Amino acid sequence: MDVKDQALEVLRRLKKQYPHAKTALNFRNPFELLVATILSAQTTDAHVNKVTEGLFMKYACIKDYADAPIETLGKDVSSINFYRTKAKHIREAARIIVEKFHSEVPKTMDELTSLPGVARKTANIVLSNAFGLHEGIAVDTHVKRVAYRLGLTRNEDPLKVERDLMAIVPRKQWGPFSHLLILHGREICQARKPKHKECPLYSICPSRDL
């Protein structure tokens, strides 16, 4: 099958395997998702959720983050990798959103990526999961690895992988497709030892004998 048919078959099989696929990050509003996603870089979602459980109780609104002393905010997320940089990004993003966007998280790729600590992956996660908008496909290490193994891309640069996937996956499925590949990468198509015997994609995977 050609690469578009391959993508559609992957989508069909993974939807059956993971019917309730969604982001693993806990949040109640768009800004909380933005905070959680910034914190999640090089940190597990499970650990981020532990940290944000208390964080979201302490900081009730965007202005709370904007007004927080950086030392205090840093201490609140100090168990997270690169917490000083992430705390700075979160506070500065909050200030910009309050001052420039009237305390509303922006809903466009250009506006979101203008915020400190927000690149395309983070913006895609926020747009898709908080607003139901599909401007691109969030590419993390799982998406990159699984897409490459399935022959959906021959690139390893996340921006090029995203471009390749956007060309072959229906737009309405861009958000769900990312969640499906992430779940599959975590549970079955693992980096060191893929679980071939459990894989619903084994019969169509070009990497199955590698």
The percent of residues above 70 in pLDDT, for the chain, comes to 100
Residue among 140, 160, 164, 209 flagged as catalytic: 140
Question: What is the model's pLDDT at position 14?
Answer: 98
Please give the CATH topology (third level) of the domain spanning 3-22+137-204: Endonuclease Iii, domain 2 (1.10.1670)
Distances (CA, A) of 157 to 55, 72, 140, 143, 162: 33, 36, 10, 11, 9
DSSP string for residues in 136-155: S----HHHHHHHHHTTS-S-
Show the CA angle centred on residue 109, arms to residues 106 and 114, nearest 5°: 75
Question: What is the model's pLDDT at position 157?
Answer: 96
Question: What is the model's pLDDT at position 210?
Answer: 62
The answer, yes or no, to whether residue 12 has pLDDT greater than 70, is yes
Domain regions of the chain by residue span: 3-22+137-204, 30-131
E strands, 29-161, in order: none
Question: What is the model's pLDDT at position 1?
Answer: 81
* pLDDT tens column, 157-210: 999 999 999 999 999 999 999 999 999 999 999 999 999 999 999 999 999 876
Residue among 76, 86, 121, 164 flagged as catalytic: 121
Fold equal for 3-22+137-204 and 30-131? no
Residue 121 catalytic?
A: yes
Residue 140 catalytic?
A: yes
Q: What integer is the mean pLDDT of 4-32?
A: 97
Domain 30-131 is found in CATH 1.10.340.30: yes
The answer, yes or no, to whether residue 133 has pLDDT greater than 70, is yes
Instruction: Give the C-alpha separation, 203 to 210, whole Å.
Output: 14
Question: What is the model's pLDDT at position 11?
Answer: 98
pLDDT band at 44 (very low <50, low <70, confident <90, very high): very high
Q: What integer is the mean pLDDT of 134-142?
A: 96
The percent of residues above 90 in pLDDT, for the chain, comes to 98
Whole-model pTM?
Answer: 0.93
Instruction: Give the C-alpha separation, 113 to 75, whole Å.
Output: 26
* pLDDT tens column, 66-124: 999 999 999 999 999 999 999 999 999 999 999 999 999 999 999 999 999 999 999 99
Contacts of the segment 155-162: beta carbons below 8 A, 24+ positions apart = 158/120, 158/121, 159/120, 162/120, 162/136, 162/137
Question: What is the model's pLDDT at position 209?
Answer: 75
